[in-house]
Amino acid sequence: MADGLQIFGRIERHALYAVQLINPVTEEIVYSGARVAAVGLAHLPVVNRSGLFVWLEEGPAWPTRIQFEPGRLPFVKENLPALPRPSDPVLATEEQRRQRIRLRPTRAYPFDAGVTAIVGRLVERPDDNSPGIPDATVALAWRKDEHDTFHRPENQTSSPPVTDADGEFAVFLRLRASEIHPTDLPAGLLQVRLEFEVDGITRCTAPDFPFLDPPAPPGQVREGTRLAKSVRVPFSALE
């Protein structure tokens, strides 16, 4: 592999590193409108016909971090560690050179049918003037089995969803029928809860949290759709 790599759709001589951006909702490759930079490399990447961002060799240099700027795309910016530098970059394998980054949707993302999505804002207290809480880790968990335990999705994004500077967030699930509790499936509803971690403290929405307006049952959302309203979640009131 000293003179080229197959991972770029065709052999690109002296290619050093490649980044593939993935839309985790659709599993499509993202490249148009995105900006990607590699800390430790002097030059910007080129985008090949497969939608990969490709850097050419710069002597012994190897990237240390990969930075993604979304521009107008509905994704969160990223600043992630690069893959470890191989002992001999010239002989590195495809997997040692290609980094896959699963992006994080923002609340502006147009979630399609088939995706269960919730957008909202995490605030400190229930009062109307309470400030939002930034940088809180967020997860949307759902009741999956007869044990009534809640499960978090795995490996949806390369970084966990977090609240933005105003406490706003977007989380989603794309589930198969086999992953939905048997009693929830016929009704088209999904028992869910939001889980937040703030300064090492994890709290969850209660079973009676009103995701939907009455007379819909509390603690549930319509499976495969985006919740119509934005939810406001006071952290101090969580379990």
Q: Which of 43-52, 160-169, 171-180 has the lowest mean pLDDT?
A: 171-180
Q: Token match 């509390």: residue? A: 218
Is a pLDDT exceeding 90 seen at residue 72? yes
Average pLDDT, the chain: 91
Establish whether the linkage from the previous residue to 24 is cis, with ω within 30° of 0: no
In a domain, 73, yes or no: yes
In a domain, 107, yes or no: no
Which residue in 103, 94, 71, 127 sits closest to 17, CA to CA?
A: 94
CATH of the domain at 232: 2.60.40.1120
Query: What ranges in 47-166 are assigned the alpha helix state H?
Result: 94-97
For residues 205-217, give the mean pLDDT: 93
Q: How many domains does the structure of the chain reveal?
A: 2
Rounded distance between C-alpha atoms, residue 44 and residue 195, angstroms: 38
All residues at 6 or more sequence positions from 61 whose CB lies less than 8 Å from its CB, including other chains: 16, 40, 41, 42
In a domain, 154, yes or no: yes
Residue 148: predicted pLDDT: 75
For residues 137-152, give the mean pLDDT: 88
Tell me which DSSP letter residue 98 carries: E
46 lies in which domain range? 6-102
- The answer to whether 108 and 75 are in contact (CB under 8 A) is no
Is a pLDDT exceeding 90 seen at residue 176? no
- The answer to whether 45 and 53 are in contact (CB under 8 A) is yes
Which residue in 104, 15, 21 sits closest to 63, CA to CA?
A: 15
Grade residue 3 by pLDDT with cuts at 50, 70 and 90: very low
- Asked if residue 127 and residue 225 are part of one domain, the reply reads yes
CATH of the domain at 84: 2.60.40
pLDDT digits (tens, 9 = 90+) for 123-139: 999 999 999 999 999 99
As a 3-state breakdown, the chain gives helix, strand, coil percent values, each rounded to 5, of 5, 35, 60
Rounded distance between C-alpha atoms, residue 67 and residue 79, angstroms: 4
Long-range CB contacts (within 8 A, 24+) of 153-158: 155/102, 156/24, 156/102, 157/24, 157/102, 157/103, 157/104, 158/78, 158/80, 158/100, 158/101, 158/102, 158/103, 158/104
- Asked if residue 233 and residue 126 are part of one domain, the reply reads yes
In a domain, 26, yes or no: yes
pTM, to two decimals? 0.89
Is a pLDDT exceeding 80 seen at residue 63? yes
Is a pLDDT exceeding 90 seen at residue 89? no
- Asked if residue 54 and residue 18 are part of one domain, the reply reads yes
Which residue in 155, 162, 230, 150 sits closest to 190, CA to CA?
A: 150
- Asked if residue 205 and residue 134 are part of one domain, the reply reads yes
